[in-house]
Amino acid sequence: MTLTELKYIVAVARARHFGHAAEACFVAQPTLSVAIKKLEDELGVVLFERGGAEVSVTPLGAQIIAQAERVLEQTAAIKELAKQNKDPLAGPLRLGVIYTIGPYLLPPLVKQLIDTVPQMPLILQENFTVRLLELLRQGELDAAIMALPLPEHGMSMQTLYDEPFVVATPRGHPWSARKEVPAEDLKSETMLLLGNGHCFRDQVLEVCPEMARFSTPGNGMQRTFEGSSLETIRHMVASGIGLTVLPRASVPDMKDKNGMLSFVPFSAPAPSRRVVIVWRKSFTRRAAIEAICACVAACDLPGVDMLPLADAA
């Protein structure tokens, strides 16, 4: 049994396809297939059911592959320990960010990191919360920035900042002149939401329950529309289709008079989200995480409340 063979079976389990797994491992498919067959013969078990267009994992295979993932993670940890002995800030850091945070946090964060720790370039990936947590467990990411609440994850976590929500309206909308808007007033408007899978959609529905009854098919769906990104929704609002809720960091100037949108804060207590960074407990470059946290704190994000750094959970 070799680490290479374990890498191959994990790749096949993820891709559900021998050819795609071979491409991901940068080897020829026959090489990968022979190595996996050798491992199955050595163990005396069948790891994969081969048939049809997609490969499936046997029940015992799933247990073995889960153990293989842990072995590969621990192997990576050994390499990280050796690297940390030299300089924990040296070398790339693979950072994931959810879609509704990335466009607004990453530009100032990357600039801060270049200025303070140029020896630690970021390898960035934007994705959904569930996918980022999966990539963290698999060792494909070192850390990820996302928003609470999170599903059970079993990782270390550090809070970064609290971010209030604001209402975006078309220029000239009657609400444009208001100083604040109660969340309950949203139920009388046509609302634009992100589609399913975006945690920001769930957060908006959680803190603005008045919108929930318009977000399910067959119950007012004609009065709510879904978009694929916050920037797409902003353009839809600007065209007069409806209103939306945005994270405060996405609005550089609440009093901007030149754009096609107006922004109105919520009445107190304003709905908000808490942004955090999470990483595997086995990740050994703690100084790298601390550098990310310090650079986030130094970012001039509009309207957010930076939180003091505490001991990681």
Instruction: State yes or no: pLDDT of 147 exceeds 90.
Output: yes
Q: Which of 24-33, 82-91, 118-127, 260-269 shows the lowest mean pLDDT across its residues? A: 82-91
- 58 DSSP assignment: -
Instruction: State yes or no: pLDDT of 222 exceeds 50.
Output: no
Instruction: State yes or no: pLDDT of 54 exceeds 60.
Output: yes
Per the model's pLDDT, the better-predicted residue between 39 and 213 turns out to be: 39
What is the pTM (predicted TM-score) of this model? Answer: 0.72
Confidence category of residue 84, pLDDT binned at 50, 70, 90? low
Give me the mean pLDDT over the 65-92 stretch. Answer: 82
Residue 221: what pLDDT? 35
Give me the mean pLDDT over the 282-294 stretch. Answer: 91
C-alpha angle 120-101-194 in degrees, rounded to nearest 5: 150
Residue 218: what pLDDT? 43
- Element spanning 243, H or E: strand 243-247
Which amino acid, one-letter code, is at 57? Answer: V
Q: Which of 13-22, 27-36, 77-86, 142-151 shows the lowest mean pLDDT across its residues? A: 77-86
Residue 31: what pLDDT? 95
Who's near 12: CB < 8 A, 6+ residues apart?
Answer: 18, 21, 32, 36, 48, 55
